[in-house]
Amino acid sequence: MNDKPTPYRGTEVSAAKSQEDIKRLLRRYGCGSVATAEELEKQEILLKFTHLIEGSDQVAVVRFMARIPPVEQPRRTRYNTNPARARLERQEQAERRAWRALYYAVKSRMESILYGMETFEEAFLSHVEIVGPHGTKITFGEWALPLMRQGHLQIPDRAEG
């Protein structure tokens, strides 16, 4: 049995409200072009926004993907519960959880930037879109993490370069 608490399990904040909170938060911190989407077949939600890179005229495109948690099976069901309706309610709850988690992920990064703990670029680097192989758009993290896991993401010694 998993004893870890499930974040945002009981949230009653609607997905639409969380999306609006995210947009408001990003506008407050000077971000532009905010888009949200849901890929229900993949059970993912998407947040995309732009931000001017400090000391540059370049714009970073940031892409966050969050997984919608699997629908939990009820421990008990009431006698008169409609199974289809109950499943739909659990699916909506899972979507609310994912959007709320995404809101707090962005909010905590923005607050650490405001506090001076890190820059925007440091906070969001792994989520910045870059051009990958064959012109595809991938995030820096999608490119760098597999290399790092394989031990190929290393900076050469200055004497070698």
- pLDDT value, residue 5: 67
Domain that holds residue 51: 15-128
In a domain, 40, yes or no: yes
pLDDT at 1: 47
Query: Looking at the 3D structure of the chain, how many domains does it have?
Result: 1
Q: Find the mean pLDDT for residues 99-108.
A: 94
**Residue 145 belongs to some domain of the structure:** no
Q: Is residue 149 part of a domain?
A: no
What is the structure's pLDDT at 78? 63
- Identify whether 52 is part of a domain: yes
Residue 75 pLDDT > 70, yes or no? no
Rounded to 10 degrees, the C-alpha dihedral 66/71/99/108 comes to -70
Question: Residue 17: what pLDDT?
Answer: 94
Sheet with strand 44-52: strands edge to edge: 32-39, 44-52, 59-67
Residue with tokens 């909010």: 107
Task: Using alpha carbons only, give the angle 67, 120, 68 rounded to the nearest 5 degrees.
Answer: 5
| Under 8 Å between Cβ of 59 and 51 | yes
Positive/negative CA dihedral, 7, 8, 9, 15: negative
Q: Is residue 157 part of a domain?
A: no
What's the pLDDT tens digit per position in 135-149? 899 999 998 888 888
By CB atoms closer than 10 A (0-12, 13-18, 19+), residue 134 is exposed
In a domain, 143, yes or no: no
Q: Is 117 a domain residue?
A: yes
pTM for the full predicted model: 0.80
Q: Which residue has the higher pLDDT, 85 or 110?
A: 110
Closest CA to 13 of 91, 88, 70, 95: 95
User: What count of Cα atoms within 13 Å lies in the side-chain half-sphere of residue 20?
Assistant: 5
Task: Let me know if residue 108 belongs to a domain.
Answer: yes
More confident call, 105 vs 6: 105
